[in-house]
Structure 1
Amino acid sequence: MTHHEPIVLDITGADIQAESARIRRTGPITRIMLPGNVPAWSVTDTAVLRRLLTDPRVSKDARRHWPAFENGEIPQDWPLRSWIAVDNMFTAYGPDHRRLRKLVSPAFTHRRTTEMRPRIEAITTGLLDELSAISPGTVIDLRQRFAYPVPIRVISELIGVPAHLAPALHACVDRFFDTSDTHKDPPANYLEMYRLVSELVAHRRANPGDDITTVLTATHDEAGAQLTEKELVDTLMLIISAGHETTVNLLDHAIFALLTHPQQRADVLEGRSTWTDVVEETLRHQAPLAHLPLRYAVEDLDINGTRIPKGDAILASYAAIGRDPEIHGPTADHFDIHRPTKDQHLTFGYGAHRCLGAPLARLEAQIALPALFTRFPALHLAADPTDLTPVSSFISNGHSRLPVHLTAEI
């Protein structure tokens, strides 16, 4: 093991891929420093992360297995506290995780996901109709006008969010992923989101529908021992957040990649490649979530000559994992929809905590992307690709804006 000073993560996420490459160069398991000088281990090797994600000696429960949290060393205003202090399957371990996942899984069955196709198509068509009505030559922020509203409308319908709660909930989700604003108040944002989701639960108790909130609320009300009120609200908060941000960034990066790789764009539009190829290579090349906090060593772990002491925090660095040269070779940094290993990524996780919403995210992208490029065959960037800036986060990986012209310039 090579000893080195911990790498301090850039909380603004100004260049996630360059930082990921720097972390990887120090080894597959590297000491890093999270906001607030909180130490952790970053994992950038696919084989090592697979092993850790399936090891029962690795937990996601900070209350039981992170001494720094248990002992009060992590302050109330720590920027990532809302990621680790919630009570849902994202932070659960062992039997608690299995119990919560079993309750949520019926909402993401293959049948239920497939049944969403007509609504996704309708949402996509409606957004494209709105874009078609914009005057030619206008610069459009395609992240804000397309990549963002497709998944937020889909997940809002799936959850059963009423129109009067949607704007405030969406604002809370945006603040949740912004890790760069040191002046924001994470506990206040969590409490506001908790209040709004509690209103959602009350609304669906009074007005039940065919949605996840109604199903989970009924489960709680009929057998409360299986799901506490806080677990119910925190679980819905997780679904709203995770079901939105990852798909926004997937659409954002897929659009950007095709606009900056014209031959590959032609290949997929002319049938030499598929939209599945585009989606999987985008997930690999630009993981929508760059780093995902946090896991904890339940006991000392010896991996590849490195010891992770009991109680240490572990960060899954998915942006680096997607470009692992051990899996994807010397061209791992290049976007290539013809790459034979493009689906060998861990972007949606692995093992017991693998993302339940992965099929839905893929379906949204496989509907929205061809619809966009078919409707606007002359779609092109309205800025130099190198001038685009990232979102302010070391967790979320996307562009802050995606300026385009929908038609050929006049």
Structure 2
Amino acid sequence: MAHDALPYVLDPAGTDVQGEAARLRDRGTATRVELPGGVVAWAVTAQEPLRRLLADPRVSKDPNRHWPDWIDGKIPQDWSLALWVSVKNMFTAYGDDHRRLRSLVAKAFTARRVEALRPGIEKITNGLLDSLAASPDGRADLREGFAYPLPIEVICSLFGIPEDARPGLRRCVDGVFNTALTPEQAMANQHELYGILTELVAHKRREPGDDMASGLIAARDDDGSRLSEAEMVDTLILMISAGHETTVNLLDHAITALLTHPEQLALARSGSWADAVEETLRWQAPVANLPLRYAVEDVEVDGVVIPKGDAILAAYAAANRDPGLHGEDADRFDISRLNKEHLAFGYGVHFCVGAPLARLEAEIALPALFERFPDLALAVDPGELRAVESFISNGHRSLPVTLYGS
């Protein structure tokens, strides 16, 4: 389809992520899409072109330097996705700014540091499994009772988030990913989130601990040139949000995929848990579409020119099932697939700093769950599972199961 066709209007409620991804692929490698509020961006839908784009220095994530519509005030301040653009952290940084901001958190996620978290993750996992096992009727919601609390507990421990702040933070983070919110709801959610984190920073200044939040605050207070106050709070937003939502969706979809593909579960049980994790990341990208990037100059993608200053959406769900790379069976969940390449964690300088932690959590949690409950089964027909209200976050609202089979 010609690139000057009407933009494809993304479903704000994300009711059919993979169906929508297929329709975007059908429109071409680079196709215009309409986001909430009538904002138009380019979705890049094939894996190799998207990989190249993510690594291209002619593509920025800094709207204040490279998105004219934002700079000129054409995007309203109360745009429902404004927080994805307005935050000042490594997510929206470019060049030297990005290197400076990333260096402050990357040291917490080195291979050695992540591996040191293993005993703690195993302890949290076992505690959650014990709680599930105590269910009086043998039924549970595995998103609420397992996939959600595990990554939250890990990231909150890492950043020293007090227990009493966690429910509010969780509610706000859910709101950040909910692309069906009205502008008023989104702004109220953003206001509440900043309130919680500003209070957290004040608390950590009074009572610093041995945690990442205290470390960021110390870096800010010792040498203000390394981190502004806004950058510090917004870095906390990024790390906590990413730590909440993406690994939750990975666990949710891995469990769902294995329960609906018994032959693949048998393969995983034979020792292929890492393969199950990678194929889940490919088959159901935890982040379906990620806003936003901006063309620093005209960029050609598969014969289509994305003009300088235009916004770009990374269509991970579409690209991960690219038949050009994964063949005609790209829509099939197959953990023995030889090529499980995916972009679920992004690529290039913005590759997800928490990827090793997400993989470790999944590779600990999944075998432990299926070992504790060998007869685990979905309690509803797979077609009854409902998606979270988002075209960004790709997960289920709930995951009802019977722990001991039907």
In the superposition, the TM-score normalised over structure 1's length comes to: 0.97
Deviation at 1:215?
1.0
Alpha-carbon distance in 1 for matches of 2:343, 2:193? 29
Contact 1:136 1:406 in 2 (8 A): no
Work out which of the residue numbers 322, 325, 328 in structure 2 matches 1:324. 322
Cα distance change, pair 277–184 in 1 and its aligned pair in 2 (3 A): farther
Contact 2:80 2:186 in 1 (8 A): yes
Deviation at 1:62?
0.6
Contact 2:78 2:184 in 1 (8 A): no
Q: Secondary structure at the match of 1:294?
A: strand
Deviation at 1:183?
6.3
Sequence identity, in percent? 60
Deviation at 1:201?
1.6
Q: Which residue of 2 aligns with 1:337?
A: 335
Q: Which residue of 2 aligns with 1:303?
A: 301
Q: Which residue of 1 aligns with 2:371?
A: 374
Alpha-carbon distance in 2 for matches of 1:308, 1:134? 54
Alpha-carbon distance in 1 for matches of 2:62, 2:329? 37
Deviation at 1:26?
1.1
Deviation at 1:315?
0.2
CA RMSD of aligned residues (A): 1.1
Q: Equivalences for 1:48-127 in 2 at 5 Å?
A: 48-127=49-128
- Deviation string 1:188-216 (CA, Å, 9 cap, x unpaired) is 22222112112212222222222110111
Contact 1:76 1:187 in 2 (8 A): no
Moved beyond 4 Å, runs of 4+: none
Contact 2:320 2:342 in 1 (8 A): yes
Letter in 1 for 2:182: T
Alpha-carbon distance in 2 for matches of 1:100, 1:379? 43
Q: Which residue of 1 aligns with 2:246?
A: 246
Letter in 2 for 1:29: A
Alpha-carbon distance in 2 for matches of 1:184, 1:176? 13
Q: Equivalences for 1:164-183 in 2 at 5 Å?
A: 164-182=164-182
- Deviation string 1:334-356 (CA, Å, 9 cap, x unpaired) is 000000111x1111010000000
Deviation at 1:184?
4.7
Contact 2:78 2:183 in 1 (8 A): no
The answer to whether the aligner puts 1:363 opposite 2:351 as a matched pair is no
- Deviation string 1:324-382 (CA, Å, 9 cap, x unpaired) is 1111111000000000111x111101000000000000000001111100000010000
- Deviation string 1:306-335 (CA, Å, 9 cap, x unpaired) is 111111000000001110111111100000
Alpha-carbon distance in 1 for matches of 2:80, 2:394? 17
Letter in 2 for 1:332: A
Unaligned runs of 5+ in 1: none
Q: Which residue of 1 aligns with 2:26?
A: 25
Count of residues in correspondence between the two structures:
405
Contact 2:292 2:313 in 1 (8 A): yes
Deviation at 1:303?
2.5
Letter in 1 for 2:167: P
- Deviation string 1:149-198 (CA, Å, 9 cap, x unpaired) is 00011100011101121111111101111111326522222222112112
Contact 1:136 1:407 in 2 (8 A): no
Mean Cα displacement is larger for which, 91-100 or 295-304? 295-304
Contact 1:77 1:185 in 2 (8 A): no
Alpha-carbon distance in 2 for matches of 1:187, 1:56? 32
Alpha-carbon distance in 2 for matches of 1:108, 1:72? 37
In the superposition, the TM-score normalised over structure 2's length comes to: 0.98
Alpha-carbon distance in 1 for matches of 2:300, 2:156? 43
